[in-house]
Chain A
Amino acid sequence: MEKLNNTDLVALLLAIGTMLILSRIVAELGKRWKMPVVMGELLVGIALGPTILGTFNPELFNTLFPLKTNPHFSIALDGIVSLSVILLLFVAGMEVQLPVVLRQGKAAITTGLGSMILPFATGFAIAWWKPEWFGLTAAQGDGYIFPIFLGTALSISALPVIARILMDLNLFKTNIGMIIIASAMFNDLIGWLVFSFILSYAGKNGAEHMSVWTTVVAILAFGAFMLFVGRKLIDKVLPWVQTKLSWPGGVLALCMSVCMFSAAFTESIHIHAILGAFIAGIAIGDSVHLREQAREIIHQFVTNFFAPLFFVSIGLKVNFIDNFDWLTVTIILVLAFIGKVAGASIGARLGGIDKRSSLAIGFGLNARGAMEIILGTLAYDAGLISQTVFVALVIMALITSLSSGPLMRRYTTELT
């Protein structure tokens, strides 16, 4: 068995330590200006990566992150980053609670649908009509995959950012707040299902293995099995694990192993591992027996160790200055704002919400945050998008997250 030698291990540990401590320091500083944690983590990645450190001090960059010179280091870091994204999707799934969508009734369903259909349609149409705007040649632009991807990327929402904004605006427990939360859950569920299809069908690993219909059937069958049968089984096992096994070791082991097995299964049938992790998260997170404390521990563990590694690593892959293109960024930003705000607002209006609150809902759901960045990274890694589109998606995720709160505040003053 090939092993990491002493030098590889030292390099890996130094890199992880640097990523963790710097991202925490910048995130804490950023909190003073209400900057999302993910932004601090990305900035650290940009500073440590080819954009800044790699340009001004390439020697130090290569010493700290010997990605090109040390294949062992590169593979080990890639393994950790892959594990990070699997766990991030797992905790994102844990917060998707379908009963919350059901209990909000018509307004949540129409808002959820509106906030998906319009951004998806605008993204799909523009990518189909003008592929060259996204750096695709006419031949590359012929397929459906990039338009479906862009549509999906524009329709996703970021539940953690949205929840934080609602809390800051004191709207979390209001009807509007719950409609936004339920719609974001709905967006995430459908968005990740569609994205798994894209990755499975068109990704580097999947294309030669499965047809469109096999991929769709496999995704739906796995989702249905986990949500109907797996969920009930977990519900039966959890009380026993939480009372009879050591705390919190027992429940952590159960949750993590269900996540890993589920991710391994979907990867083995050529659907991306993220789907397995996401659906496992829904199945576990929905259980009434999962103690709130256990939920918090899992979130702390993933958000404070794996999330910074993942988001910092993004900056290590891409040069954000070289790949910054005004036109692409502007087009993606305009599409993101128009599609999401208009779609969600129209959906809310159809659900019986007044005009002002509907606009607040639209701006609330516009925050894309970490979820968009994860989606963009996976698409970039799978060779679906160029570095330019990836950079534009990251910038869009940050701008929509930063603007969501202030814009929402304009329409919610009388609701609080």
Chain B
Amino acid sequence: MDYSKLKRRASYPFETIAVAVAFSPRLEALVSEGAVLAKSCGAKLLLIHIGERTRNKESKLDDLVTKLQLKEDQYRILWNDGDPVESLLHLCKLNVVDLLILGAMKKESLLQYYLGSVARKISRKAKCSVLLLTDPANEGTVFKKMVVNGVENPKTVYTINTAVYFGKCVSTSEVFVVTEIHQPGLAMTMADEATAGEMTRIKKENKAEELERVHAIVTRCQRQGDMEICEKTISGKPGYAIRHYAEQKKANLLVVNSPDQKLGLIDRIFTHDIEYILEDLPCNVLIVHSRVNETT
């Protein structure tokens, strides 16, 4: 299969937005969200269903697009059989999807979480950005407040830029770029050798260094309109700390980098990074997949 169009494709603008259609009770809300976002971003809309194509399903979708007043040139419906995760990811690659929208439970049962639901599996494996909507609405979700990860990673600059672009499309007013400070082993070292003054100084220096680093990225990113961008440092384990912060801030959207490596069951047992977020979504989550460093 030729995926060359994907190679080094920028993570934004979103030219093609896909919605994973599952004919669940949230079908209308999810497709509406897709339509609203496609309009805001000036993107094409793809409705993808993996499963049996029946007359009943076809008429349901036809009724829905009529209700949403979508014109024929604004959307396409794709049907496919097979494994939901693999087929969906394959179709996304084939159609150069920039953003895939999925409905997701805020928290899944323990067994389901460890086995992996479709939405979570796609979030871990997708080669495009993924928007997980915990509570899709017919009139479209308001993304007023956004928390974006500022973790030290080559992907972060693209994630922040994508978040700012998306924020402009959906009229976000507040953006918090947050970096997490976590230094394992530090407490033990400090307890042994540091004076109270040295301990305070080291913590202050760490915080200042992180802020400076995030500030440098934010300065480089393309600010949009009167969007307010705030830079913050928080202490705690990566993934968990930002999830907690997004909850506390009552953010509408949490924007994070896509995983750096293949995640498996062991990563769910010894939870780290994005797994803390997928374990219990604090709000809607946008996982930005920047393809810049990829070879395929």
Contacts and interface: CB of A to CB of B under 8 A. Distances in A.
A97 B184 contact: yes
Contacts of B266: 102
Q: How large is the interface on B (under 10, 10 to 19, 20 to 34, 35 or more residues)?
A: 20 to 34
B183 interface: yes
A399 interface: no
A296 B187 contact: yes
A98 B189 contact: no
B185 A181 contact: yes
A95 B185 contact: yes
B212 interface: no
Contacts of A307: 192
A295 interface: yes
Interface string B255-290: 000001100001101111100100000000000000
Interface stretch (B15-23, B165-173, B235-243): B235-243
Nearest to B202: A167
Residue from the set B183, B185, B266 with the largest chain A CB neighbour count within 10 Å: B185
B189 A167 contact: yes
A113 to B, nearest CB: 16
A102 B186 CA distance: 19
A139 B202 CA distance: 54
Contact of B185 (A102, A106, A163, A296): A163
B236 A159 contact: no
Contact of B193 (A97, A164, A302): A164
Contacts of A92: 188
B193 to A, nearest CB: 6
Interface string A233-256: 000000000000000000000000
B185 A99 contact: no
B189 A160 contact: yes
A304 B271 CA distance: 32
Contacts of B62: none
Contacts of B185: 95, 159-160, 162-163, 181, 184
A288 to B, nearest CB: 4
B202 A159 contact: no
Nearest to A292: B235
A31 interface: yes
B190 interface: yes
Interface in B159-208: 183-193, 202, 206
Given A102-B272, A173-B183, A91 B152 contact: no
Contact of B237 (A99, A102, A172): A99
**Interface residues of chain A: helix, strand, loop or mixed (majority):** helix
A164 B187 contact: no
Contacts of A409: none
Contacts of B270: 98-99, 102, 286
A105 interface: yes
A192 B192 CA distance: 21
A303 B271 contact: no
Nearest to A163: B185
A356 interface: no
A164 B152 contact: no
Interface in B35-76: none
B188 A288 contact: no
A288 B236 contact: yes
A107 to B, nearest CB: 11
A98 B268 CA distance: 12
A296 B187 CA distance: 5
Greatest chain B CB density within 10 A among A184, A185, A288, A304 is at: A288
Contacts of A299: 187-188, 190-191
A23 to B, nearest CB: 12
Given A103-B238, A159-B185, A172-B183, A303 B192 contact: yes
A37 interface: yes
B246 to A, nearest CB: 15
Given A105-B261, A173-B183, A95 B188 contact: yes
Contacts of B267: 102
A382 interface: no
B250 to A, nearest CB: 20
Given A31-B193, A292-B187, A103 B272 contact: yes
27 contacts: A31-B193, A37-B192, A91-B188, A92-B188, A95-B184, A95-B188, A99-B271, A99-B273, A100-B272, A103-B272, A160-B189, A160-B192, A163-B186, A163-B188, A163-B189, A167-B186, A172-B186, A173-B206, A173-B209, A181-B184, A185-B184, A288-B237, A292-B235, A296-B187, A296-B190, A300-B191, A304-B191
Given A92-B188, A105-B260, A296-B190, 14 more contacts: A37-B192, A37-B193, A95-B187, A95-B188, A103-B273, A160-B192, A163-B185, A163-B188, A167-B186, A228-B269, A288-B237, A288-B240, A292-B187, A299-B187
